[in-house]
Amino acid sequence: MSAVVNATANTGISGAAVHARCAASAAHVAIEVVAETGSSNADLLARAAALPGPTLLIALQQSAGRGRAGRAWLSEPGATLMFSLAWRFKGPLQQLVGLPLAVGVALAETLTALSVPVRLKWPNDLIKDDGKLAGILVETLAGADGAVWAVVGVGLNLLMPDRLESQIGRGVAAAPWLAQMDRNDLMAQLLNRLAATLAEFDDTGFAAFSERWNRLHAHHGRDVKILDRGQVLHRGVARGVDDSGRLLLDTPQGRVAVLSGDVSLRSAEE
């Protein structure tokens, strides 16, 4: 039986309610809900060695939420769904290449089934109407006992309060339709697909997801540039990803395959 820890009352989401809606793929996941924390990813990473199994941590508010390259993720209670899922993998760390993209596929397919069609921006963003709807941060840890843990952090914008919009600026999307859903139903549907995806990824790697990712590619056939710390590394036409999750880019010098790392993708005109 999965462990369940609830936050204070009247939060709109509870571990017990989410667990009651879980499919078989997620029935073994421990679910915790806290009213506030610094970073749910950091919390689970710190506890990974002691976790008995897959653990979902939902934080109604995060004071130090972060995205890739240490960027801050701003949130507001009720407007953003923020959670982290810790998962133990069988293979070595190098076999987790492409995991953020597989997570993106799981989230995008779930949201599309909920009448919120989205596209995927390489390597880890979900795009709606040309704005960022959700971001993914995957952090890994290899324990002394040989265990390999990944903590998958997700921030999903449901509403965009004026306060946050003024701080974040343009290029951000929200999904008011999702905000009207029961949060426990929404979280359970996301968790069900994520748990099934992580289990499949553990067996197959990213190769089983590359075609699905490419069908959701937001920049396919578009002129883009790849930046590293603000410097342009490549310019070319985006052609999708290979079975390792590398972005295939047709440049004047020929096709290149770009590893994600801390690089970022922008449209050529940005």
Q: Which residues pair with 120 in a beta bridge?
A: 126, 217
**Rounded-to-integer distance, Cα 22 and Cα 20, Å:** 6
For residues 218 and 127, what is the distance between their CA atoms, to the nearest angstrom? 7
Measured between alpha carbons, how far is 3 from 19 in angstroms, rounded to an integer? 9
Catalytic residue among 68, 88, 121, 246: 68
Residues in Cβ contact with 57 at an 8 Å cutoff, skipping those fewer than 6 apart: 32, 33, 34, 37, 40, 43, 44, 83, 84, 85, 86
Determine contact, residues 235/42, Cβ cutoff 8 Å.
Answer: no
Catalytic residue among 132, 212, 215, 225: 132
Kindly provide the b/e burial profile for residues 26-35, where b requires at least 16 CB atoms within 10 angstroms of the residue's own CB: beebbbbbbe
- Which structure tokens are listed for 223? 């002129």
Whole-angstrom distance, CA of residue 186 vs CA of residue 167: 27
Q: Give me the residues paired with residue 86 across strands.
A: 55, 151
Answer yes or no: 90 catalytic. no
For residue 68, indicate whether it is catalytic.
yes
Rounded-to-integer distance, Cα 26 and Cα 198, Å: 10
Within a 10 A sphere around the Cβ of 43, how many other Cβ atoms? 20
Is the bond preceding residue 123 a cis peptide, omega within 30 degrees? yes
CB half-sphere exposure, 112, CA atoms < 13 A:
15
Catalytic residues: 68, 132, 266
